Structures are given as structure tokens and as C-alpha cells.
Amino acid sequence: MQFAPLFPYFYRILQPTFPNCLWGGDRNSKAIALTFDDGPHPQYTPQLLKVLDHYDIKASFFWLGACVNRSPEIAQAICDRGHWIGLHGYDHRSFPMLSPNDLKDSLEKTQTAIYNACNLLPEKVRDVRPPNGLFTPKTLKLFFEWNYRPVMWSVVPEDWVLPGVDTVVQRVLNQVQNGSMIVLHDGACGGQDVAATTKILIPQLLQQGSQFVTVDTLWQYTKTN
């Protein structure tokens, strides 16, 4: 069963319940963020980078530390292009299933992997998106204690179940609004179609007047509104 039609309703319930998470940007601005989870992947991520290069668009990537360690040269290529980097845990285990020590270790190991690959200092990589979008109030409390910034989403087309490129594109176009944060995947689940999806999606969103920004820019909007 696919849950994509339900995600907009989940968003409406969760967003006001957890206002300290980043769920999107300014509803009065055409600025939206294109974000990618679960990478970097040795095959799918380079294909995606070619599309982003073609349109000169800066995206945001939430990485798994294990994948960074497997493909450090791809991680460096992403950083060299000026894309924004965030954390997705070391190995995609759901954060509520981890003890506080294990959660801290997962995030710090990922930061170390990113530093080794990209020379990005840990204090520069503080945005965290929980795997599967699962967190608890306790998880958020720990994030704030450790000086991380929790990042969620507003448009989830469920590309990881491979419903087809056209379906993913249509789901995004149906849901996107001013300030939207779109989540796609360039990892093992969903990455097969990510380049083809993005190649169709970007020009259509540009035609609608959307402006692509990074997650860090969306945070700036929350400080000024």
C-alpha cells in the first residue's frame, strides 16, 4: 500500500505540533527547496548531479554516514558544487529506536565521515532529518541540547517505492506551494528514478515561477517571519 495521498494530511497535523522543526519556508515566497535523502550513491547521485548542473540549481542532501564512507569522492563532488549538506544518521536506523548514546554516536560518526570526505567541520553540518521521518519529543529535545537543527518536509511523493517517474512528478506538482520543501531520494531505494524525475520536474517548477534555494535559506526565512 502506498501512503503518498496521506502525507499532506500528516503534514498539516504534525507541523503545528512540532513548530521548532523546519517544515518549509515562507508561504509568501516562491522559494522552494529540493532535498535528497539516503545518499550519496555511486550510480544514482552522479546522474542526479548532471541534472542539477544543467539547471545550475543548488539542492540539499541529507546523507547516511555509511554511504559517505563508501563514496567519499561523490560526497566531495556534491560539496564542491555548493550544495547544502545535512545528516540522516549513519545507517538509516529510526532515531526513536536508538538510545541517546547511540543516536549521538550515529550523528557524530556521520559528521566525521563528511569531514573526512569534504573537509566540512562538524559545526557546519548541523541539520538533521530523521530516517523515515520518525522522531519523538525526546528526540527533538536531544537535538536541541546537542545544537542540531531538525529538518522535516512538506512534499513527500513516496518515490522510494518506485511508483514511476510520471507519478512522482505529478504528486509533487499537485502538492507544491510557496515555501515547499520537497523530499526525493538518491539512495538505494528510489534513486533509480531520481535523475529522470528531477529532469522533468525542475523545468516545470521553473515555468511556474519557483525559485530553488537550500535548506539553510529556508531557515533564514523562519528567522525573519
Q: What is the CATH number of the domain that holds 57?
A: 3.20.20.370
Domain for residue 5, yes or no? Answer: no
Would 13 be classed as within a structural domain?
A: no
pLDDT at 1: 45
pLDDT, tens digit only, all 225 positions of the chain = 455 565 555 555 566 556 689 999 999 999 999 999 999 999 999 999 999 999 999 999 999 999 999 999 999 999 999 999 999 999 999 999 999 999 999 999 999 999 999 999 999 999 999 998 888 889 999 999 999 999 999 999 999 999 999 999 999 999 999 999 999 999 999 999 999 999 999 999 999 999 999 999 999 887 655
Q: Is 8 within a domain?
A: no
Task: Say what the pTM is.
Answer: 0.93
| 24 in a structural domain | no
Structural domain boundaries, residue 151 = 31-224
Q: How far is CA 106 from the centre of its chain?
A: 17
Q: How many domains are there within the chain? A: 1
Whether 50 is in a domain gets the answer yes
Report yes or no on 2 lying in a domain.
Answer: no
Give domain status of residue 199, yes or no: yes
Residue 214 placed within a domain: yes
Q: Would you name the residues annotated as active-site residues?
A: 37, 185
C-alpha dist (Å) from residue 62 to 67, 94, 128, 176: 11, 14, 7, 20
Which pLDDT belongs to residue 222? 73
CA atoms within 13 A on the CB side of 124: 11
| β-sheet bridge partners, residue 213 | 33
